[in-house]
Each structure stands twice: as C-alpha cells, then as structure tokens.
Amino acid sequence: MTATAPHLRAADAALLRVEDLVVEFRAAGRRRVHAVSGVSFDVLPGETLGIVGESGCGKSTTARAVMRVTRPASGSVRFRGAELTRLSERGLRRIRTSMQMIFQDPVSSLNPRRRVRDIVAEPLVVWGRGDAAAREAKVREALAAVGLDYDVVGDRYPHQFSGGQCQRISIARALVLEPELLVCDEPVSALDVSVQAQILNLLEDLKERYGLTLVFISHDLAVVKNVCDRVAVMYLGKVVEVAPADALYRASAHPYTRALLSSIPDPDPDPGPDAAARDAEYGPRGESPSPLDPPSGCRYRTRCPLAQDKCAREVPEPRQLDDGHTVACHFPITTS
Ligand SMILES: Nc1ncnc2c1ncn2[C@@H]1O[C@H](COP(=O)(O)OP(=O)(O)OP(=O)(O)O)[C@@H](O)[C@H]1O
Ligand code: SF4
Ligand SMILES: [Mg+2]
C-alpha cells in the first residue's frame, strides 16, 4: 500500500504493478496531451483486472505503455518484480514474450496476405522457438484451444473469416508464446452481441486452462462486470475508483462510476426505487474536457453535479473506503 495509491497490494504479490504512470504526447503548437496522468494499479497472478472509462480516457495508452509500445514520461511498470521502464532492449525482449496483447479490431490486426497457420506461427518464428515441426504442433494446439481446426483453417486467409473467428485467431497467436499476462484492449467491442459472449467465455476458459492473468479493457461496464475480479475506473487520464467487481456494482462511491453504472440495464427485476435513475443523476454533464487542458483539481468537476469549490482547488487523492476499495473524490457517495 502507498500513500498515493492505497489500492496497491504488496509489491512482491503482484505479477504486474503500475505506479504513477504518466504518458504525454506532443500536440501541434508544442502543447501537451495529458493522456495518462499518474495511473496506478496492480494485478495478482491469476486475477482479471478490468479497466473501464469512456472513449479517450487513456485506457489504450495505459496498455501500450505497460507493453512498452509507448514510452511513458515517468512512472514505474514492474512485471514479476522487474522494472520494465529501465530494462535494456535485450532484457525487455526476454520478458516481452510473457506479456501479450489482443486488440479491438481483430480483422485489421491480422495480416491479410498471410495464411492463418503462418499468422499464428509468426511469434514463434520471430522469437526463434522450435523447428518447423515443433512450431506446427504449437500452432495446432493454440488453434484447437480457441476452437479452430488447423486442417480446416490453416491454409485460409483472414478475409475468409468472421470477426469472431478472426478474434479467435488473434488469441491463438497471442497464446503460442505461452504468456503469463494477456492484455485485452476492447476484445469484443467490434463483435456482434451473440459473438461477444462466445469470446468472453473462451477467454475465461483459456484463463483457467493456462493459468493466465488478464487485464481487460472496455468502455462497457456491463461486459467487465462478468469477467473481472477487480475494476479500475478511469476518467480523463486518471484512475478515479478501484474496487473488487462486486463492491463496485453494489456500492460505488465515485459520481462518475455511478453514472457509468446507470447505463447498464439492471437484471434485478426490482432493483429498488429507480436505482438507475438515481445513479444517472451523478452523470456527466456536457462534453468531456480536452486532455490538452484538463480541469484543475478534480478532472471530473466540470461535469460533476456534486462539485464544490474544493474540487477546483485540490486534486482528490485516492482514499481507502473498504478493503481493496479506493476512491479519488472529495465527497464520495456513501449510500448504496
Ligand atoms: N499518438 C498519439 N498522439 C497524440 N494524442 C494521442 C495519441 N494516442 C492517444 N492520444 C490521445 O490520448 C488520449 C487517450 O487516448 P486513448 O486511445 O488511450 O483512449 P482510450 O481510453 O483507449 O479511448 P477509446 O475507448 O476510444 O479506445 C486521447 O485524447 C487521444 O486522442
Ligand atoms: S472531487 Fe468533487 S468534482 Fe470530483 S467527483 Fe468528487 S465531488 Fe465530483
Ligand atoms: Mg482505446
């Protein structure tokens, strides 16, 4: 536990620990895009962490900085205790195979000119793993794990498959290197609702089978609810609330989380007097501010119905409410 991120657990218990991550981009006129501004979270082995928030809040940038596709301006990313931001290219190469990522648009993430067997084998070739026969065995196994038959699909090209099947192929490609951590960036957002459930079930099965640890990014709390142990809610480059999934849905304390929850249809036929309507009252007003010029103090204050003077003056530091539940708000909601 740290003062700035009380939701972090013991450093040696975490597979991935991200602390105070800052990522900025240069915009026109030497202005800075404050895409990720001091984000902290951790993931224990075998856990699934959800990262949710509306478009542009910094989810993908956070994921790319964790994978070292994007270089952070500052902060720490530890994987199995190794500080990735300070590792040499060589050290990083060794660890990179243990961390894989899958993306929102499976069709465009697959090379259209290559056959499925070569697409899935590519990471093995790049990392010099095994001979041709060993690689084929691995590709067969990975395709079978995602429900595809090598003899049927191996010779085909991506355009011959549906979006759901393409996502299965990208998952197979991520699995061949036997990663420990799978970062899934909106893996089902581009798919039909019926196919979404199949891919989510597949990820759950693979997690069990291979002992994977997942970071699951989505703008949709309803999706995250069913697959995550813990959830971190992001708003304009900051984590505003972290909680075990059930606590977040039962008793979220940040107005922004409440607003996100109000957009999920409630499966409970009698959720109480207009629970969704009540949560909607905490909802964002107006447009999201630009990350070029985030509001002072609390970044949600320009849209928050509970905002007071203090919210403009002071950045709300995360504080612990219950075990594993932290919120960054000066006036957290305490009614459930
Ligand atoms: N390479 C870049 N150069 C400049 N700005 C960038 C770059 N990449 C991202 N941004 C900006 O950083 C902010 C965060 O973007 P990011 O893609 O991480 O959001 P996101 O939460 O993944 O959104 P979405 O749900 O739409 O995928 C946005 O304002 C985006 O425009
Ligand atoms: S700190 Fe203030 S503005 Fe920010 S979410 Fe809490 S009440 Fe709203
Ligand atoms: Mg994104």
Does ligand 1 come within 6 angstroms of the Cβ of 231? no
Q: CB atoms < 10 A from the CB of 246, how many? A: 12
The CATH code that applies to domain 1-44+56-80+232-336 is 3.40.50.300
The pLDDT of 246-256, averaged and rounded, is 93
For residue 3, pLDDT over 90 is answered with no
Query: Which ligand gives the minimal distance to the CA of 34?
Result: 1
For residue 333, pLDDT over 80 is answered with yes
Q: Whose CA is nearest to atom 31 of ligand 1?
A: 56
The pLDDT of 155-177, averaged and rounded, is 95
Rounded to the nearest angstrom, the distance between the alpha carbon of 32 and the centre of ligand 2 is 24
pTM of the complete model:
0.93
Q: How confident is the model at residue 104 (pLDDT cuts 50, 70, 90)?
A: confident
- HSE-up of residue 293 (Cα within 13 Å, Cβ side): 3
Q: What is the percentage of the chain residues whose pLDDT exceeds 90?
A: 72
Residue 169 is inside which H or E element, if any? helix 163-175
210-245 pLDDT tens trace: 999 999 999 888 888 889 999 999 999 999 999 999
Please give the number of the atom of ligand 1 that sits closest to the Cα of 290.
29
Please report the pLDDT score of residue 121 as a whole number.
Answer: 97
For residue 335, pLDDT over 80 is answered with no
The pLDDT of 297-301, averaged and rounded, is 97
In this structure, are residues 248 and 65 in contact, taking their beta carbons and an 8 Å threshold? Answer: no
Rounded to the nearest angstrom, the distance between the alpha carbon of 186 and the centre of ligand 3 is 7
Domain ranges of the chain: 1-44+56-80+232-336
Please report the pLDDT score of residue 161 as a whole number.
Answer: 95
Cα 333 to Cα 329: distance, rounded to the nearest angstrom: 9
For residue 271, pLDDT over 80 is answered with no
> How many separate helices (H) and strands (E) can be counted in the chain?
12, 12
